[in-house]
Amino acid sequence: MRISLLLFLCILLGSPSFSQSKKSVLFLGNSYTERNNLPQLISNIAQSMGDTLVFDAHYPGAYTLLRHATDANSLNKMGAGHLDYVVLQEQSQRPALGPDEVSKFFRYGKILDSLAKVSNPCAETMFYMTWGRKNGDDEYCGVFPPLCTYEGMDSLLNRQYRNIADSLQAVLSPVGATWNAVRKFFPDIELFHPDGSHPSEAGSYAAAVTFYCAIFRRNPLDIPYQFTIPSAVAQNIKMAVKKVVFDSLTKWGIGKQDPNPSFSYQLLPNNEFSFKNTSIHANRYFWNFGDGNTSVLENPNHKYATNGTFNVTLNASRCNVSKSFSRSVQFQVTSVDNLFQLTEEHPYPNPVEDILNIPFIRFDKILISNIFGVFFEPSLSYAQKQIALDFSNFPAGIYFIWVYRDNKTGFWKITKN
């Protein structure tokens, strides 16, 4: 007969894997996307960083999401498949207008999001958050004052783009937020075309850097490409993008749908480990048990042949993104010849609720385990020839107090109320 003793130390080693530097993106927008050929500008930035952007685009002037949802060209481009992102840009005013127009924005944004996933199950929808007009829109001053200023219009656009992205679990390219930061910290940079609505070359560069950062998740300060604008201006724009986007990716939904691996485990009576996969946003798994054995099962069992410390790693993936989570496990099998029942005075009170007192005995180490073989190293305190163990934070159940000395192991059985 053999009895298994398990001691573990949890170490989180997870790190995302974004080895692919090639992304396929479809841009559905209007003149804001067309101006200065934004998709090509993003591609040029990617190329300067050693990445590749393969893109297609459809951006007739003044187009709305409603019109894209009923446009054969837009639908055919989405239906081609193999896309990583589908970028949706609403007409520049609609998300900031009254309830009827906002309702259309949400309705057709949702429709396009659903249609995109039919042919592109691995694609993410990315909404192109635009900006308030330079001096607002004076034709609305009498009927809808918030649109009368840049600040009012920009705030409404920001809010509604964030709302739709949250509701659809989509991601944002927060170009409007980048523009807001540039206007605040670098007011000498002119982002607007003379019409006060469309982007200047600096404005398109700010949009392109924002998109590149959102798609490839790379630090914009490393970008060497500066388009047609002075290097000092390009540097300031990149600094704004780093602060707004790169330093806060999850704020814009970027990475929230990535695989998030995690697992727990317990020791079964047959000395086999049962691993419970608690990962989210994943559909493929690869386990490495640290002893040369692997598994692709979602919830595998594994039995170690020898004593030792094993680094168990779970790699969880979906589409082209994967992450890993690891735990270092020390497994020890002790012969029954080295196991004995302690005959010293027993701990009290048993059952215990808060403090367990055990007699002051000679020991090399004391551990606590639950019935699943998971061990805890307790914090010990000493007083009046006894040792006190704090059980107040332990859940109710059966526990064992293990006493190690002279290469032998003794135990007491304890009940926690």
Percent above pLDDT 70 for the chain:
90
> Is a pLDDT exceeding 90 seen at residue 92?
yes
> Is a pLDDT exceeding 60 seen at residue 149?
yes
pLDDT per position as a tens digit, 371-382: 666 777 787 787
**Stated pTM of the model:** 0.73
The per-residue pLDDT for 2 is 35
Q: pLDDT confidence of 397, banded at 50, 70, 90? A: confident
Say whether 213 sits in a helix, a strand or coil: helix
Sign of CA dihedral 51, 55, 60, 65: negative
Q: In this structure, are residues 369 and 376 in contact, taking their beta carbons and an 8 Å threshold?
A: yes
Span 22-35, average pLDDT: 97
Q: In this structure, are residues 379 and 390 in contact, taking their beta carbons and an 8 Å threshold?
A: yes
Which two tokens mark 297?
């099962």
> Is a pLDDT exceeding 80 seen at residue 144?
yes
The per-residue pLDDT for 372 is 63
Sign of CA dihedral 395, 399, 405, 409: negative
Cα–Cα distance for residue pair 282/234, rounded to 1 Å? 38
The per-residue pLDDT for 1 is 31
Residues of the chain with CATH 2.60.40.10: 259-335
Q: pLDDT confidence of 344, banded at 50, 70, 90? A: low
Q: Which of 111-115, 281-285, 376-380 has the lowest mean pLDDT?
A: 376-380
The per-residue pLDDT for 112 is 97
Residues of the chain with CATH 3.40.50.1110: 18-252
The per-residue pLDDT for 13 is 32
Count other Cβ atoms within 10 Å, centred on residue 281.
17
Q: CATH for 18-252, among 3.40.50.1110, 3.30.1490.20, 3.40.190.10, 3.40.50.720?
A: 3.40.50.1110
Q: Which of 88-92, 307-311, 340-344, 397-401 has the lowest mean pLDDT?
A: 340-344
The per-residue pLDDT for 301 is 92
Domain 342-416 in CATH 1.25.40? The answer is no
The per-residue pLDDT for 17 is 38
Cα–Cα distance for residue pair 126/27, rounded to 1 Å? 9
What is the CATH number assigned to the segment(s) 259-335? 2.60.40.10
Matching residue, tokens 């989509």: 170
> Is a pLDDT exceeding 60 seen at residue 9?
no
Nearest alpha carbon to residue 368 among 380, 379, 377: 377
Q: Which of 5-19, 46-60, 189-203, 262-276 has the lowest mean pLDDT?
A: 5-19
185 φψ region: left (φ > 0), alpha (ψ -120 to 50), beta (else): alpha
pLDDT per position as a tens digit, 167-220: 999 999 999 999 999 999 999 999 999 999 999 999 999 999 999 999 999 999
Cα–Cα distance for residue pair 24/174, rounded to 1 Å? 19
Say whether 358 sits in a helix, a strand or coil: strand
Percentages helix, strand, coil for the chain (3-state, rounded to 5) are 30, 30, 35
Q: pLDDT confidence of 7, banded at 50, 70, 90? A: very low
- Average pLDDT value over all residues in the chain: 88
Longest CA–CA separation in the chain, Å: 91
Span 227-231, average pLDDT: 97
Ranges of beta strands (E only) in 243-396 are 263-267, 273-277, 284-288, 294-295, 301-302, 308-318, 321-335, 339-341, 355-359, 365-370, 375-376, 380-383, 386-390
Q: pLDDT confidence of 60, banded at 50, 70, 90? A: very high
